[in-house]
């Protein structure tokens, strides 16, 4: 099991990755 801190770090990384994906998929105007 992950500690609360590890879980929070993972969620933060996933959020960042999702944001980058969105920006990458969206044509930069």
In order, the DSSP letters of 1-29 are ---HHHHHHHHHHHHHHHHHHHHHHSPP-
Asked if residue 14 lies in contact with residue 22, where contact means CB atoms within 8 angstroms, the answer is no
Q: Which of 2-6, 15-19, 22-26 is the least confident region?
A: 22-26
Residues 6+ apart with CB under 8 A from 10: 2
Mean predicted confidence (pLDDT) in 1-24 = 94
d(CA 26, CA 12): 21
pLDDT band at residue 4 under the 50/70/90 scheme? very high
What's residue 8's pLDDT? Answer: 98
Per-chain mean pLDDT for the chain: 90
d(CA 11, CA 25): 21
């Amino acid at each position: 099991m992950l500690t609360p801190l590890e879980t929070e770090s993972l969620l933060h990384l996933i959020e960042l990755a999702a944001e980058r994906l969105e920006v990458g998929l969206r044509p930069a105007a």
